[in-house]
Amino acid sequence: MPKKGSLEVICGCMFSGKTSELIRRLERAQFANLKIQAFKSHHDMRYGAKGLRTHSGASYPAISVPNSSSEDLRRLLDRSQDIIAIDEVQFFDDGIVGLCEELADNDIKIIVAGLDLDFRGEPFPGPTVAKYYLHPMAALMCKADRLDKLTAACTICGEEATRSQRLINGQPANWDELVLVVGALDAYEARCSLHHFIKSPTLPSNLI
């Protein structure tokens, strides 16, 4: 008997509408009277601790997962649900991949949304720094039954934007700045690959 569960991944740069698309799918599922449980990373406090919220103001009830921990999420799960949704999934630990696979194998539809690239335009990094390490976001994209990569409009030229431009005091961030910095319009812009710019790493003074 074929399984009903599946894994859907929504990815893209900042301001590409990932959370909007996630909410759209959940609201559509509500019309079919499906049971839904939504979660988000504890890192995302831009619009408060409660619920998913888009930059344009749309919202949906969701549980903030302490420490963005897959084990904490596991404890909060209601496995009687038809759909489990996770926003800002790039902030979760390695265990999120196995958990999503486990739930999909048990006839639950999993829909996750998150950044595919960091502010440097590199695959979103994980806690393990290894040459061939596959971050959970990349692993989820590879394992997805459905994968949608969304784009935004470049703030410079209006073309398709696939990069998140980090800004510090209005200027492009250095390569060696912290990766995990949550922000909105004051800290990021959507850029195309042509207008995405990262300053070179800051060298120690004794090497200059």
- Identified catalytic residue from 8, 27, 71, 88: 88
Q: Is 88 a catalytic residue?
A: yes
> In angstroms, how far is the first alpha carbon of the chain from the final one?
65
With CA atoms as reference, report the closest residue to 37 among 71, 93, 3, 75: 75
Q: Hey, CA dihedral for 58, 63, 67, 72, is it positive or negative?
A: negative
For 11, 98, 121, the CA distances from 124, given in Å and listed in that order, are 11, 18, 8
Residue with tokens 């949304």: 113
Positions marked active-site: 88
